């Protein structure tokens, strides 16, 4: 085997990011992934309009990141013929992945109960917004609304009084795709033992709760850890963000404040505060937090960020520059480890695509095939399932496929 999932067939009926991202993992690891879209393509194909990136058939980097290395079929699922085609694909598949809302899947006859009889070995993986029960079960879920807004992060991941935190689109989706993929692979492993498929589900909301577990648990009424926090009152002054002389920012992260207090003061040139009982442990520093953070703010402004990085690295204290998004694609650390694929488009633009963040000793992912046009592979796929060229032409003429 050249890749660990060779021989696995996946049908994806996914939009936006979670499901396409999850099936991209499987595609990179050797599975044959057929992405089914409507005749006009899914809306993520034009999301680049919001982010100043191209959305053409030959250059569409935001769509390509989640959808490289797949095959693309454009099928009109509002027709009986289109439903028959996708059921033909699923009957031969190992995994069916979708985030279409449950009521719509039932109407199409593509719910788990309907497909289980078509393929008893099928791993059916469904992603919902909020889960299947409760007052919001039927609501659509989106990254910024469900993952971020609903779970305390937008309001609380800022300093007191600041405008709510707003991440780029797709971040929560990408995070959610990781446990979703893990569930699919666990089900696939179980099928090797039992010979039977199963239903796998997750939701944006469930994943967001999981990833914000520290904030949610500690802020509960019985513990009362307050959010948002003032930038002048961090829980740990040595695990905080500071502005440097060159107007750039640095984060330091010392987890054992009491033990490393003297060491940290010496790196900063604050020897006169070594052993100071007002500041040298987390219990007492809380009574003097604003004055101590003011001292630290002033000292960090005396050197450029890179100077501080050298000093902290020499002292084996964890720190990191707060880079700008525009700087990350040229980070030599990422390139040294092969964490980017670079693609040069006909326009001359070069795009650095983050790779699937897992490497195997004995399996190397070498392919990076861009998606191209809507329905690029429909004819080829249908030919493999017994549809002739004449059949395809008739279906295309009726706008059942593209």
Q: What is the set of active-site residues?
A: 173
Q: Which two tokens stand for residue 83?
A: 């439903």
Phi, psi of 319 (to 5 degrees): -150, 165
How many CA within 13 A on the CB side of residue 237? 27
Which residues share a beta bridge with 201? Answer: 126
Parallel, antiparallel or unpaired: strands 319-321 and 249-253: antiparallel
Parallel, antiparallel or unpaired: strands 32-37 and 71-74: parallel
Which residues share a beta bridge with 73? Answer: 36
Judged by DSSP in three states, 200 sits in strand
Contact 183/198 with Cβ under 8 angstroms? no
Measured CA to CA, the distance from residue 42 to residue 16 in angstroms comes to 8
Q: Which two tokens stand for residue 92?
A: 């031969």
Cα distances from 10 to residues 19, 208, 306, in angstroms, run 12, 26, 47
Contact 264/240 with Cβ under 8 angstroms? no
CB burial class (10 A; 0-12, 13-18, 19+) of residue 360?
Answer: exposed
Contact 102/132 with Cβ under 8 angstroms? yes
Alpha carbon 370 to chain centroid distance? 19
User: For residue 326, what are the contacts with CB-CB under 8 A and spacing of at least 6?
Assistant: none
Measured CA to CA, the distance from residue 353 to residue 345 in angstroms comes to 13
Measured CA to CA, the distance from residue 114 to residue 140 in angstroms comes to 22
* Element holding 241 (H helix, E strand): strand 239-243
User: For residue 288, what are the contacts with CB-CB under 8 A and spacing of at least 6?
Assistant: 278, 279
How many residues are there in the chain? 402
Contact 98/14 with Cβ under 8 angstroms? yes
How many CA within 13 A on the CB side of residue 55? 12
């Amino acid at each position: 085997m050249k890749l660990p999932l060779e021989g696995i067939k996946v049908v994806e009926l996914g939009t936006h990011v979670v499901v396409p991202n999850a099936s991209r993992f499987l595609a990179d690891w050797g599975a044959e992934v057929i992405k089914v879209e409507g005749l006009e393509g899914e809306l993520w194909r034009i999301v680049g309009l919001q982010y100043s990136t191209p959305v053409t058939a030959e250059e569409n980097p935001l769509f390509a990141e989640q959808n490289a290395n797949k095959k693309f079929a454009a099928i009109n699922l509002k027709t009986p013929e289109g439903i028959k085609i996708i059921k033909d694909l699923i009957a031969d598949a190992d995994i069916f992945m979708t985030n279409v809302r449950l009521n719509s899947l039932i109407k199409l006859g593509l719910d788990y109960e309907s497909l289980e009889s078509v393929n008893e070995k099928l791993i059916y993986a469904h992603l919902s917004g909020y889960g299947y029960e409760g007052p919001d079960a039927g609501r659509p879920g989106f990254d910024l609304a469900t993952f971020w807004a609903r779970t305390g992060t937008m309001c609380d991941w800022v300093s007191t009084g600041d405008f709510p935190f707003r991440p780029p689109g797709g971040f929560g989706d990408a995070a959610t795709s990781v446990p979703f993929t893990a569930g699919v692979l666990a089900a696939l492993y179980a099928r090797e033992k039992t010979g039977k498929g199963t239903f796998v589900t997750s939701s944006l909301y469930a994943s967001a709760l999981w990833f914000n577990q520290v904030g949610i648990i500690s802020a509960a009424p019985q513990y009362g850890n307050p959010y948002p926090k003032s930038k002048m009152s961090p829980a740990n002054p040595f695990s905080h963000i500071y502005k440097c002389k060159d107007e750039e920012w640095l984060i330091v992260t010392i987890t054992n404040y009491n033990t490393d207090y003297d060491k940290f003061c010496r790196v900063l040139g604050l020897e006169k505060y070594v052993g100071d009982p007002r500041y040298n442990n987390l219990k007492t520093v809380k009574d003097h937090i604003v004055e101590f953070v003011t001292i630290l703010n002033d000292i960090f402004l005396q050197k450029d960020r890179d100077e501080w990085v050298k000093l902290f690295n020499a002292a084996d204290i964890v720190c990191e520059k707060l880079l700008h998004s525009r700087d990350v694609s040229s980070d030599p650390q990422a390139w040294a480890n092969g964490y980017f694929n670079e693609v040069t488009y006909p326009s001359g633009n070069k795009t650095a695509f983050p790779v699937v963040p897992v490497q195997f000793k004995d399996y190397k992912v070498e392919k990076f095939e861009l998606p191209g046009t809507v329905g690029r592979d429909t004819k080829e796929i249908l030919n493999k399932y017994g549809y002739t060229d004449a059949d395809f032409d008739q279906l295309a003429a009726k706008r059942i496929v593209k």
